[in-house]
Every structure is written in structure tokens, then in C-alpha cells.
Structure 1
Amino acid sequence: MIAELVAEIGPLWHERHQAVLTSRPRRRAVGAGVKYKLVFVDRLLATLVHLRHAATHDVLACWFGVDRSTITRVIGEVRPLLAERGCTVAPDIRLCTLAEVIDHLGASGQTGIIDGTEVRVRRPAVGRKDREKFISGKNKQNAVKSMVVTDAEGRLLFCSPAEPASCADITHARKLGLVKLLADGPAVEILADAGYQGLGAQTGGRVVTPPHRKFKKNSPEWYVEMRERQRKAHSSRRIRVEHAIGHLENWRSLARREHMSDTIQAVPGALSRQQASGTRT
């Protein structure tokens, strides 16, 4: 896996690095001056260790024998490249956008599963604009939210950029354009929980959610039993997305609010590559 990442991301990093060097006025030729101590393989390893274990920049600096600022710069350069890779479904199939995911599900005839995951983060500083937007209405904690999409087997297909947790799941899905993609795209079945109730009517029944509760009080016994069976059957079909989210949250770097959109998209890229190759995290 490391060799493949080096072969894929290394040229992109070098191209961007050279573009930065040539984009500013210079008194010396490009390539002159002090050379970097870290080769690209070490840069990639430092970034992956930071993402997986949330190792501090100080620890990584001691490990690789460089200054802390070097590690900070390295992670800031490599993490966006990992985030742009998308999720690997097969060696020749990689999905980077939600539109590509819907097209893939339609072409393969698979069922998709969506769910919103909230990642608790540190509280924004006092006086910061929109500080209250990070408070989750569900858990009453400071968090960010992302929408995760998997197939029926639980393989990661997409993870959206981070959104403040005050945004409802259904609102987040609409912002991402899910309704339009399903209404105008291929016939795809998408399983979702009760937080997405209402999308089914907007997508011609393509988003399937648990049945509404028709009786608020004094429900007939037969109705309670039927609804419970339907709810359990639906839950058993969509449980795979919960397993995928559990694997995501094992990556400890997700506890940090800074650069969360890049982090929360870089982690699924690495996880999906491991799922496709059959290796373990």
C-alpha cells in the first residue's frame, strides 16, 4: 500500500512543490539552497501515523530527526493530497464525488446506505464567530458532522466534507445535492435512518427510511408488532454503515477540529484502499 501511495501521490506533491517555487520572485535558481531532510516516503509515513494515531508533531519530529515546523509543513502538504484521492472500490475504480457514487451504484445495481456521523471536537475559542454552530442538537456537544455512504457490504464509497454539527442530517444531505442526484440519476435504492425521513417523497421513493409512526397514542397491538418488525428489518439492512463509521472513528486524528474536512476525507481513502485489498487497519 505504501509503495502504491508513493507512486501515485509522489509526482503530485513534487508538481505542486515546484509550482510553489516557480510562482514567486527568486534571487536563486529553483533547487538551489538547503535540501530537504525528509524524502517523500518519510513525509507520507509521518502523515499516515499522525492520521491513524494522532501522534503530536513534537513526537514525529523526534522520530524523524527534524524540527517540529517541518512536520507541520509536511502534514499540511500531504494531507490534502490524500483527501483528494477519494474511496477505492476496486483497483481500477475510485470514487471522489457523490455524483460518481450514485452513478457507480446505479451501474452495478447495488444498494447504498447513508448515515451522518458526528465527531466530537474541541470547543471553539470564546469570541469566535459562529461558535454556537458546532453544538450538536442531538448530543449537546461541540462536534462536526459528515455524511458517510457505503454499499450493502459496508465498503466505504464516500465521506463528505465536515459541517458544523448544528446542521440536521436531512439538511446536510440536501446541501450535498443528494436529492437532485437521485431524482435525475439512475434508479438507486438508498437506505437511511429516521433522520432522513422526507427524502423518500422528494426522490420518488429511492431513499428508504423506517416507517412513520401513524398512531402517537394508544397504538393497536397489531400495529406496534408490525412496525417493530419493519423497523428491525430495516435496521438489520443498514447496520453495515454503522460498522464503517466505527472504523472511521478509530482514527484518532478525527478528534481535532482543525483541517477536519481534509482529515475526514483522507481517512476513508486509506480505509477503503485497505478494504479493497483485504488488509486490516
Structure 2
Amino acid sequence: MFVDRLLVAPVHLRLGLPQAALAELYGVDRSTASAAVREVRPLPAARGFAVPGRPGIRLRTLEDLFACAEAEGVELRIDGTEVQVRRPKAGRPGRKAFVSGKRKQNTIKTTTFSDGQGRTLFSGVVRPGRMHDQTAVRAEGIAEQFRQHPAVKAKVDEGYRGLANEFPDQVDAPSKKPRDDAPLGEHHAWREQRRCQSSDRIHVEHTNAEYKQWRPLQRFTGRRETYPEAHPSIAGLVSDRSARRGTRHKPSTEPVLARPAPC
């Protein structure tokens, strides 16, 4: 039935059940379950991401994200996350491209953009695990968006140091650690500044952690070619839930999408 076909893909995305198990659950053939997943899975990915307080607006591209952030005065939080995937077969071209230098596993990376309350605004920029976050900034046009929207500001981690150096008035990264022979006061000031910056940026870490509650984003066992479709599908559904819920971490008296006060 149509309703069953509509539910198969969300169940598959949420629980990561094999398609043979889905077929047994719904009493159909495995090929029928597979076809339902292929047909329905692109739909939430194509819908884009919800904007809190703006029910009729969906963000589908980086251009939409930065235009909305500039118009609404939202200070973005940016962070990358990676998910383990299947190891390519021996001898296949580009096999080493998926080996993450950080996790020492075959992974796929994505970049998440959230607001100051940890609500998903955009998640994508999919690339192999070997590619550094800073390289993705250049390759996928994130730096160009900052150049086109000079009013947009963001907080990032140490991995985006190059982006912060290029746009010092827009991108806030942790300050560099003082030399070992620096005065003790400089070390105390550096630790306090880093703690304050991490406190402002931690919300995007919570957003990535919410994605990992979905089984396929803990370890993706499907074909790597389908990951660029599965990830935005899940992230889009998470954005719908977080936009309706408002803030996830603590009650706030700030207006929707307002820029949070500095630490």
C-alpha cells in the first residue's frame, strides 16, 4: 500500500534495518522494499532544511543558508562530522581517498551549520574522509559565501583556522596557544578565552550528536554512492523536529533566530 511504501524509507533511515528485514516486517518481497526505499528516500533530502520561526521557508543550498543568515542576523556555528563507511575493494581507483587521518578508518565527512541554539540550518558538503575541513571550505564554496555575505559571522573550531585567518572579522576560531615561555597570565587568559569560545560553539556539536542517534549515521553500511542522499534526508528530518521544538538545550527568552549574547 502507498502508506506502507511511504513509511519504509523513514524506518530504514531511523533504524538502519536491512531491506530483507523490512520486507519481512511488511510482508513483501525484498525487491519491493528496496524499490520503496529508493523512491521515498530522495523526498526528504529534496525538501531542504527548516528555518525556525519561518514555516514556509526551506534552505536547500549554501546560497540559501548564507542569504537567510544575513537577513535574519544569525551567527552560524560550523563543524564537520564523519561517519564510517565500507572499505572500497582492493585495486579500485581512489581507494585511499576515504581513509581518515583522524579516525584511521574509511569515512565520509559532512559539514553542519547550526544557529546559536543548536538547531540545524544546513548539513551537507559531502566529501571523502581524507579531505581536510579547510580543503572542503575552498572546494565547496563556503569561503566564497563569506566573501559574498560580509555581514554573516560564524564560530568554528581549530580545523577552520585558515578560514578564520582569511575572514578575521567574520569567523571566530580559538586563539593560538601562547608559547611555553609566555607569562603565566597569558596562559590563564588563553584558557579562559578558549573555554568561552567552546561554550558558544558546543551547540553544533550537540547537533551532530543528534544525527548520530540515527543508526545509519553511526556506521553507514549501504553503498557509499547513496550517502549524499541519505545524510541530508536524515538531517532534514532532524531540522523539522528541532525547528518545531525551538531550543533543545535550555529555555531561552531570546526571539527566534536572534543572535545570542557574547560569552
- Give TM-score, length-normalised by structure 1: 0.82
* Residues 47, 236 of structure 2: 8 Å contact kept: yes
Q: Distance in 2 between matches of 1:181 and 1:203?
A: 11
Matched residue, 1:131: 95
1:36-93 Cα offsets, whole Å, 9 max, x none, are xx31x21221000000000111111112121101111111111122211111113112
- The Cα shift of 1:110 comes to 1.4
Aligned-partner residue type, residue 123 of structure 1: R
Equivalent position SS for 2:41: helix
Aligned-partner residue type, residue 79 of structure 1: R
Equivalent position SS for 1:92: strand
Which of 64, 72, 75 does residue 108 from structure 1 map onto?
72
Q: Does 1:91 align with 2:50?
A: no
Q: Which structure has the bigger radius of gyration?
A: 1
Matched residue, 2:240: 273
- The Cα shift of 1:108 comes to 0.9
* Residues 161, 265 of structure 1: 8 Å contact kept: no
Q: State the 4+ residue runs in structure 1 displaced beyond 6 angstroms.
A: none
Matched residue, 1:236: 199
Q: Distance in 2 between matches of 1:230 and 1:204?
A: 16
Once the two structures are aligned, what percentage of the paired residues are identical? 38
Equivalent position SS for 1:198: helix
Matched residue, 1:221: 184
Q: Distance in 2 between matches of 1:70 and 1:224?
A: 62
Aligned-partner residue type, residue 54 of structure 1: G
* Residues 159, 268 of structure 1: 8 Å contact kept: yes
Aligned-partner residue type, residue 208 of structure 1: D
Q: Distance in 2 between matches of 1:123 and 1:92?
A: 41
Gaps of 5+ in 1: 1-37
Q: Distance in 2 between matches of 1:123 and 1:108?
A: 42
Q: Does 1:263 align with 2:225?
A: no
Aligned-partner residue type, residue 228 of structure 1: R
Q: Higher RCO, 1 or 2 (CA under 8 Å, sep at least 6)?
A: 2
Matched residue, 2:20: 58
| Number of aligned positions between the proteins | 241
- The Cα shift of 1:201 comes to 3.0
* Residues 16, 215 of structure 2: 8 Å contact kept: yes
- The Cα shift of 1:122 comes to 2.2
Q: Distance in 2 between matches of 1:224 and 1:98?
A: 37
Q: Distance in 1 between matches of 2:207 and 2:192?
A: 24
Within-5 A mapping of 1:168-187: 168-187=132-151
Matched residue, 2:259: none
Aligned-partner residue type, residue 210 of structure 1: P
- The Cα shift of 1:186 comes to 4.3
Aligned-partner residue type, residue 194 of structure 1: E
Aligned-partner residue type, residue 159 of structure 1: S
Larger mean Cα displacement after TM superposition, 120-129 or 186-195: 120-129
* Residues 80, 112 of structure 2: 8 Å contact kept: yes
Aligned-partner residue type, residue 119 of structure 1: V
Equivalent position SS for 1:162: strand
Gaps of 5+ in 2: 249-263
* Residues 120, 207 of structure 2: 8 Å contact kept: yes
Larger mean Cα displacement after TM superposition, 172-181 or 42-51: 172-181
Which of 252, 268, 280 does residue 215 from structure 2 map onto?
252
- Give TM-score, length-normalised by structure 2: 0.87
Matched residue, 1:3: none
Equivalent position SS for 1:241: helix
Matched residue, 1:35: none
CA RMSD in angstroms, aligned pairs only? 1.6
- The Cα shift of 1:98 comes to 1.0
Aligned-partner residue type, residue 58 of structure 1: A
* Residues 103, 186 of structure 1: 8 Å contact kept: no
* Residues 79, 266 of structure 1: 8 Å contact kept: yes
Q: Distance in 2 between matches of 1:46 and 1:161?
A: 26
Q: Distance in 2 between matches of 1:248 and 1:55?
A: 17
* Residues 161, 264 of structure 1: 8 Å contact kept: no
